[in-house]
């Protein structure tokens, strides 16, 4: 018998999560919507990624952060669960840094996408 798994993340900002998914070319819809699982089971999530096999992946708010919600037996993404979360977390962090630095008056002076997949940002702020 299969069931939903909830995987904890450090993702707390919905807008940055949605931007990260878009960056990675993931087709998602905003919720609250139902994540479909085994034998008609559902869970409510704020972001839902529909899969062709009719078993969805979602991100649901648990009061502190967005957890990945899915029936892992029916995982149908191009990356493993760990690889998927790693890529999303990196893009999420990028958007969070960009948003927070912009709020504080910083601008990106330099951005390097390294061969190892890491991103190097240099930000600056001019003061009068």
Assign 123 to helix, strand or coil: strand
Assign 41 to helix, strand or coil: coil
| Sequence spans of domains, the chain | 5-124
Residue spans of beta strands (DSSP E) within 37-80:
42-49, 57-61, 66-70
The distance from CA 43 to its chain's CA centroid, rounded to whole angstroms, is 17
Give the separation between CA 79 and CA 90, rounded to whole angstroms: 14
Helices then strands, each counted (H, E), the chain: 2, 7
Per-residue pLDDT 10s for the chain (128 aa) are: 558 899 999 999 999 999 999 999 999 999 899 999 988 889 999 999 999 999 999 999 999 999 999 998 999 999 999 999 999 999 999 999 999 998 988 888 888 988 887 888 888 888 76
């Amino acid at each position: 018998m299969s069931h939903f798994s909830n995987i904890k993340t450090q993702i707390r900002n919905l807008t940055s999560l949605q931007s990260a998914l878009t960056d990675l070319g993931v087709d998602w819809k905003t919720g609250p919507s139902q994540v479909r699982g085994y034998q008609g089971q559902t869970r409510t999530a704020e972001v839902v990624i529909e899969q062709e096999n009719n078993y969805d992946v979602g991100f649901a708010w648990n009061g502190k952060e967005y957890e990945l919600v899915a029936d892992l037996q029916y995982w149908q993404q191009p990356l493993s669960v760990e690889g998927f979360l790693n890529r999303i977390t990196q893009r999420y962090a990028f958007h969070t840094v960009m948003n927070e630095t912009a709020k504080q008056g910083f601008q990106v002076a330099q951005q390097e996408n390294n061969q190892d997949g890491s991103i190097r940002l240099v930000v600056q702020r001019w003061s009068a």
